[in-house]
Amino acid sequence: MDDLNAGVAVITGGGSGLGRELALQCAAAGMRLALADVDDTGLQQTLSMLPEGTEAMTRRVDVSKPEAVEALAADTYQRYGAVHLLFNNAGVAASGPTWTTTADDWNWVLGVNLMGVVHGVQSFVPRMLEGGEPGRIINTASLAGLSSVPGSSVYCVSKHGVVTLSECLHHELKTMRAQLGVSVLCPAFFKTGIAESERNRPSELANANPLGEEYAQFVKAAIEAGRLSATDIARITLEAVVADRFYILPHGGAVKQVETRMRDILELRDPTNPMPGAA
């Protein structure tokens, strides 16, 4: 994927944050876009920001619903006939101690963060394989998918799942010598709207962790303090796609944090708290 011009990029969570920045940079590279989100207003705002002449379609899609993602895939292939970059990017977050998490917390976060990726893979990868063109699947995980953050067990479980799913998919595609590559994106805190993801939480899954607010405030503060922007993360991601790189860790301290966790495991010692200042 060293030439993105005229290719087709599918981006879930394209109505804000990283998804929007990926859309802008893919469009700047000459790609055609299929953007999905549950936020119609956000999608229209993204459309209005694209370079003049960009070919783009938008769909309201709840990625936790397999039929919605399947419809997105069908519509995308009907319009463009191919997909070259699949960004399984939509994500939400919930905070609080593990013992007070609710079933709704788990169903909502895993439904979007993990099953959204599963549905993207199941609906698009068979079509991409059949098309026989070079392409790449980029799954948005998090540094929380390579570490264990207090007060974020629901989120961490979902993102650890995305990492191992991506690794399995990489091995499978390599074994069959497919022209499809895989990347897993694992950023630390950066300025995005995920701390406000409760705004899109379904009413039927509204029973949230009663002790979540203190942890959520810590996350919001960490996001605001982030040195990298969504624009930076999108740029680094596309550079990694062109370079055919699997692990994408945009933040400088991420590798050290992962190394510490690996040492904990290899030396059979207690896990090191990656966020000692957390609530």
CA 230 – CA 187 distance, rounded (Å): 10
Structure-block tokens of residue 172 = 């499978």
CA 278 – CA 270 distance, rounded (Å): 18
Three-state secondary structure call for residue 192? coil
Query: What residues contact residue 181 under an 8 Å CB cut-off, 6+ apart?
Result: 1, 135, 136, 137, 170, 173, 244, 246
CA 27 – CA 25 distance, rounded (Å): 5
Q: Do residues 57 and 76 lie in contact, with contact meaning Cβ atoms separated by under 8 Å?
A: yes
Residue showing tokens 């969570």: 13
Give the chain's length: 279
Q: Do residues 139 and 182 lie in contact, with contact meaning Cβ atoms separated by under 8 Å?
A: yes
Amino acid at 23: A
Distance of CA 169 to the CA centre of its chain: 16
CA 136 – CA 26 distance, rounded (Å): 13
Q: Which strands form 135-140's sheet, in the order they lie side by side?
A: 56-60, 32-37, 8-12, 85-88, 135-140, 180-185, 247-248
Q: Which residues are catalytic?
A: 155
Question: pLDDT tens per residue, the chain (279 residues)?
Answer: 678 999 999 999 999 999 999 999 999 999 999 999 999 999 999 999 999 999 999 999 999 999 999 999 999 999 999 999 999 999 999 999 999 999 999 999 999 999 999 999 999 999 999 999 999 999 999 999 999 999 999 999 999 999 999 999 999 999 999 999 999 999 998 877 776 788 899 999 999 999 998 888 877 877 777 789 999 999 999 999 999 999 999 998 899 999 999 999 999 999 999 987 655
Structure-block tokens of residue 95 = 């905070």
Q: Which of 15, 127, 112, 18 lies closest to 70, judged by CA? A: 127
Pairing of strands 180-185, 32-37: unpaired
CB atoms within 10 A of CB 99: 8
pTM for the model stands at: 0.95
For 104-121, how does the pLDDT look when each residue is reduced to its tens digit (9 = 90+)? Answer: 999 999 999 999 999 999
For 196-254, how does the pLDDT look when each residue is reduced to its tens digit (9 = 90+)? Answer: 788 899 999 999 999 998 888 877 877 777 789 999 999 999 999 999 999 999 998 89
